[in-house]
Structure 1
Amino acid sequence: MTTNKTGRITGTEMEEAISRFERDCRSDGVGETVRSFIREPLFIWMDALAQASDESVSHSEGEFHAECGLDRNMIMRTTVGINRMLSIRDVFLISAIVDERYADRDFLMSFAERPKLSRNAQRLEQLLSDSFRDPLARPDMKRCDQAINMLFDIIDMIPKTYRAQPFAVISYIMWWMGQEGAMASAISALAIDDQCSLAAIVCSAVERRIGPAWTSET
């Protein structure tokens, strides 16, 4: 696949990347393909989240993204992943709202590769439940803000038809943070893909004034 070094990612490039991903899944297996596609961008993403939440590190606006953000190739691979497999989307979401001490990289990669494995599914469900029900599970605002900023960077680089899942993840993170922008991001996702279940869940929660326990809205 020939990829330009600069500029927004085109629809043709995305189609070629998706075709390659699906071809590799058939020839090499889903687990191996997910690992080769997602491991590097996920770890770059998580490094950026960890640095953002480290209060001992001083970040000047712009400099941090240039040093730690996903490059064009990583953005394309991330977009393929979160659009083709919900487990990959969920891994990027969980990594933003749950501290790495509780959702480490080995587990996140294992879930991305094998989401139906009982221990992986149960652990992810427990992480989501704890983040929702525990009033002491407060968001790391810097970590969440960095995730949102990176997702908007991704959205700015990719064709509109591939933006629903990134918008949906943004909407969930904003809902988790108690931010008013959650509904707008969810609606943006649904305007692109009206079958986007994550965005629909966020819309329903906001309309019913249901929030995580720490917001005292449950």
Structure 2
Amino acid sequence: MSALFLGGFLFFSVNIGAVIAWLVAKIFHRSDVGLALLCGGFLVGLLALDIIPAAFHFYNSAGIAFGILIGYMFLLLVNKSLHSSNQHKSSVYLLTIALFIHTIPLSLTIGNLLGNSSFALSITTSTILHHIPEGFAITSIFIAQGQKMIGLFLCFIGLSICFSFFIWIGNHIHLNMKAQSVLLGISIGLIALTSVKEFILHNIRVVPTRTLVTFVLTGYLLSVVFHMVF
């Protein structure tokens, strides 16, 4: 897998999220909550079944734990910057910048793991799937704020280029096992915290408990199927 190929795959995935957001905006105006819960459950399952067990088996546990802490602190800073405004709606530009920054450690990690095809497949799949709801979120904000769609397209192109560029950097810079462990921990922390906090906990009071459990459990079961097939 090349960096350009993965960048193209990411572009395709965020456009899937965009199409879903457009359909929801036209037909099912409140289905975005169910989609977020489903994706959150899927990503939690993918972490629990594939990425985390493999990470602690092949990499330095202390480095991974330290990386998760860095990812947590980084996400706190991003959330603080996003919610520092008194406006009710988050700025689409701040969200875009946050997603660009969020992509960097994941891209570097994937670049370093491209030589290990089995492990790279798990973390690459999680990253690509993670960008489907992000594409949905950005598109929803663009639609809600009446932004021009050319801006959304440029945002997706930029995100894909950023993704490919840092994969390329990660594939050409030699990092020792400790550094790779820290980077992997950062990616795990960002995926886990974003999935749980933004996709699940953020919607915990929006839907009835039974509906929440159904969507999250369905997403988790999909990850079990993925784990069994691949």
Q: Which has the higher contact order (CA 8 A, sep 6+)?
A: 2
| Shorter-chain TM-score range | under 0.3
Normalised to the residue count of structure 2, the TM-score between the two structures is: 0.25
Which structure shows the higher helix fraction?
2
Normalised to the residue count of structure 1, the TM-score between the two structures is: 0.26
